[in-house]
Amino acid sequence: MHKLEHGLYDDLANTLPSGVYRLRVYHDVSLIEDKWVGSHDTPYIVEYVNDRFCEILQLDKSLYLRNPGIISTLIFESDKAEFARLNVEANLKKTPFVWEGRFLINGSIIWVQFKSTPRILENRDIIWTGIIDDITARKQTEEDIKLKNAELQRLNANKDTLMSILAHDLRSPFNSILGCLDLLVNDLRQYDMDMIEKLITAVNSSAINAFNLLEDILLWTRSQSGALPFDPQEINLKLCCDELVKLFIPNAAEKNITINNAVTEKIKVFADIDMLNTILRNLISNALKFTAEGGNINIYAEQNHADVSITVSDNGVGIAPEVLSKLFDTTQMHSTRGTANEKGTGFGLLLCKRFVEKHGGEIHIKTELGKGSEIIFTLPVNVT
């Protein structure tokens, strides 16, 4: 090319926002994949690159022209195989080459896109003329959109779950309340005190169930929106458990179940008291629900260096494997009736998981059908 024409071509290429390159690929070695990812003995030479090409990949132009294989050392390791495969395929079929992949440059990852078109020479070598663009911002936007879509799907699943509960589980206790009250309003003088006491007890039980459900829904909604306060402090775990066990004594007495708080005085946790109470309340309530008359519930804890492992165990009915997999899944809200036909919504364990993870802890279940369950969760012992 004439010197002036070359200069004009160079000026034009350097005004472009994309990197521009031209390669001569040798036909006799173009189909060897290893050569496309090696740093030496490349199957091509670089005939031209503009300044933007070297700017994107932070290359010294003269060094790259002398050793084009240096580009292979910058490709992200897990992307190299696809880069080589697509190059071989394009040279075999003589079709345009398009590749998006990652480069690791000075400790940072950037995304680039190569696009080039082949021109076959008389000796069967191929001239590839193409462009390279930095698409890091586009990829980040795509990832952000993907995350937002996932969040929207999660929110929609939560919304559907809430609607299902409001439509079914919340209606049920109110139907019971209204039915009993209707009988009392219309036929009060026809009933003896035993019947009246039975109806009032049913109303009270249904009202408590409805209230607890509303409490859980409100807590869940506030926790999902980030509006729930989080104020962790040092708490004596035994005293906390003692107070909660007192609340369940009447329920336990109805089924002749013993609740044993075996947590020692010395164990302390760093937790939000309201969230901790919600966790323990739900776990004890579940244990009561699925333990038969005359059973036992045990609460105990073990302190490690960084956290406390707390267990609520029972010798109840246990959990079937197909049910266990759904217990912490918001898209598959699952509820099972208890040993005395008690109802639940499945919200309790979801709240427990949410609140345990809020503290940086973990929760898991050990269970065996017919032998009972252990729900174990961890909480920190100090500020992290």
Q: Rounded distance, CA 6 to CA 2, Å? A: 6
- From residue 350, give the alpha-carbon distance in Å to each of 232, 329, 333, 342: 20, 8, 9, 19
CATH of 229-384, one of 1.10.20.60, 3.10.580.10, 3.30.565.10, 2.40.110.10: 3.30.565.10
Domain 3-134 has CATH 3.30.450.20: yes
Burial class (CB in 10 A: 0-12, 13-18, 19+), 69: middle
- From residue 179, give the alpha-carbon distance in Å to each of 54, 171, 182: 79, 12, 5
Q: Rounded distance, CA 365 to CA 322, Å? A: 13
Residue 131: predicted pLDDT = 96
CB 373 within 8 A of CB 313: yes
Residue 169: predicted pLDDT = 65
The tokens describing 369, both together, are 């059908």
Residue 189: predicted pLDDT = 82
Residue 332: predicted pLDDT = 54
Residue 176: predicted pLDDT = 83
Residue 232: predicted pLDDT = 92
Residue 339: predicted pLDDT = 47
Residue 340: predicted pLDDT = 44
C-alpha radius of gyration, the chain, whole number: 34
Per residue of the chain (384 residues), what is the pLDDT tens digit?
556 566 776 777 788 899 999 999 999 999 999 999 888 889 999 999 999 999 999 999 999 999 999 999 999 999 999 999 999 999 999 999 999 999 999 999 999 999 999 999 999 999 999 999 999 999 999 999 999 998 888 777 767 766 766 666 677 778 888 888 988 888 888 888 888 888 888 888 778 778 877 877 777 777 777 777 889 999 999 999 999 999 888 778 888 999 999 999 999 999 999 899 989 998 998 898 888 888 999 999 999 888 999 999 998 888 877 777 767 765 555 555 444 444 544 567 888 898 999 999 999 999 888 888 999 999 998 754
Provide the whole-model pTM.
Answer: 0.54
Nearest to 262 by CA among 308, 312, 304: 312
The tokens describing 340, both together, are 């005395």
Q: Which residues in the chain are classed under CATH 3.30.450.20?
A: 3-134
Strand partners, 269: 235
The letter for the amino acid at 331 is: T
Residue 335: predicted pLDDT = 54
Q: Rounded distance, CA 273 to CA 362, Å? A: 17
- Per DSSP bridges, beta strands 258-261 and 372-380 are unpaired
Q: Which residues in the chain are classed under CATH 3.30.565.10?
A: 229-384
